[in-house]
């Protein structure tokens, strides 16, 4: 009899959202699918962690990290994960009791990478406009709209194999890095280019507060778009996407700055 796949839930946190964390832990404890581990990657030491985790019947481990950086923390979590499937929770997201069971059932039909659908049940808003109404494999361009907390991926896809090199989060992107956003999009595109496509389940939510639209893009996030596009695409395509993005977002005051950031960006392979 084939054993059930194990899920590794990687949570990179500063440990300063205790109320939200307890909500997450409660929804993990209530999962109908119970074969999973929870790895906390702490970017600063907290004395309260052992007391908090003792209150829950969960398989948990805490990994201490020196320095800061979301992508760096997730990569450290991957190095310690023992699951067949990995996902990247935030300490302020939460789940339905059947979420992990749905993911495993979908994976068992041959899916390699799955994206759920971020939804704020309090504001009754999705994390993005709902252009995709039915389950489907996402195109490369559609990967730009995914969030890291929605991703579940088979660990074997991340390892070096005949399909290509090992995949990790690009540590030049993400909170605490040179470019503060886009790390999950690069992660999914690297999987896509290795032959692993993301299957979107719009019917399965992962809950998270959705910010008001006016506050979603900061100046730093906007300036990260050029390097992000260049990391994901070839240089001519990146410049076309930058132009389209800034026309759509009406960010003409930052246009020349982002063109410069796009031109000067070099990936590790180009340096």
Question: 41-60 pLDDT, tens per residue?
Answer: 987 666 667 777 888 999 99
Most confident option among 61-70, 103-112, 225-234? 103-112
- Does the pLDDT of residue 256 top 80, yes or no? no
Can you tell me the distance from the alpha carbon of 26 to that of 138, in angstroms, rounded to the nearest whole number? 31
pLDDT attached to residue 16? 74
pLDDT attached to residue 188? 97
Task: List the structure tokens of 114.
Answer: 């799955």
Q: Which residue has the higher pLDDT, 232 or 222?
A: 232
- Does the pLDDT of residue 269 top 80, yes or no? no
Across the range 204-214, mean pLDDT stands at 83
pLDDT attached to residue 27? 97
Q: What is the pTM of this model?
A: 0.89
pLDDT attached to residue 228? 87
Can you tell me the distance from the alpha carbon of 230 to that of 226, in angstroms, rounded to the nearest whole number? 6
Assign 215 a pLDDT band (cuts: 50, 70, 90): very low
- Nearest Cα neighbor of 63 from 72, 48, 73, 50 is 73
Please give the DSSP secondary-structure letter assigned to residue 232: H
209 vs 51, 120, 156, 214, 269, CA distance in Å? Answer: 26, 5, 31, 15, 37
CB 40 within 8 A of CB 61: yes
54 vs 12, 22, 57, CA distance in Å? Answer: 19, 12, 8
Average pLDDT, the chain: 87
The residues, ordered by sequence, that sit 6+ positions from 168 with a Cβ below 8 Å of its Cβ are 75, 78, 158
Q: Which domains does the chain have, with CATH numbers?
A: 7-211 (3.90.550.10), 217-264 (no CATH)
């Amino acid at each position: 009899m084939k054993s059930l796949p194990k899920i590794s839930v990687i949570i990179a946190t500063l440990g300063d959202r205790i109320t939200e964390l307890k909500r997450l832990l409660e929804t993990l404890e209530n999962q109908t699918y119970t074969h999973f581990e929870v790895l906390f990657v702490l970017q600063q030491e907290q004395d309260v962690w052992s007391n908090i985790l003792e209150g829950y019947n969960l398989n948990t481990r805490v990994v201490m990290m020196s320095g800061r950086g979301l992508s760096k923390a997730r990569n450290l979590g991957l190095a310690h994960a023992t699951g067949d499937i990995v996902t990247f929770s935030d300490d302020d997201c939460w789940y339905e009791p059947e979420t992990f069971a749905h993911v495993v059932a979908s994976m068992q039909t041959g899916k390699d990478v799955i994206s759920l659908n971020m939804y704020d049940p309090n504001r009754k808003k999705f994390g993005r406009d709902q252009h995709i109404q039915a389950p489907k494999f996402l195109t490369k361009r559609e990967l730009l709209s995914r969030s890291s907390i929605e991703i579940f991926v088979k660990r074997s896809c991340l390892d070096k194999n005949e399909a290509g090199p090992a995949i990790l989060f690009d540590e030049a992107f993400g909170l605490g890095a040179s470019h503060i956003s886009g790390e999950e999009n690069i992660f999914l595109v690297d999987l896509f280019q290795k032959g692993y496509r993301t299957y979107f389940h719009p019917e399965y939510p992962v809950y998270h507060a959705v910010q008001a639209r006016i506050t979603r893009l900061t100046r730093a996030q906007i300036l990260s778009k050029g390097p992000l596009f260049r990391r994901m695409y070839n240089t001519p395509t990146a410049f076309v996407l930058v132009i389209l993005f800034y026309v759509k977002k009406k960010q003409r005051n930052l246009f020349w700055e982002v063109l410069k950031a796009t031109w000067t960006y070099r990936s590790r392979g180009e340096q």
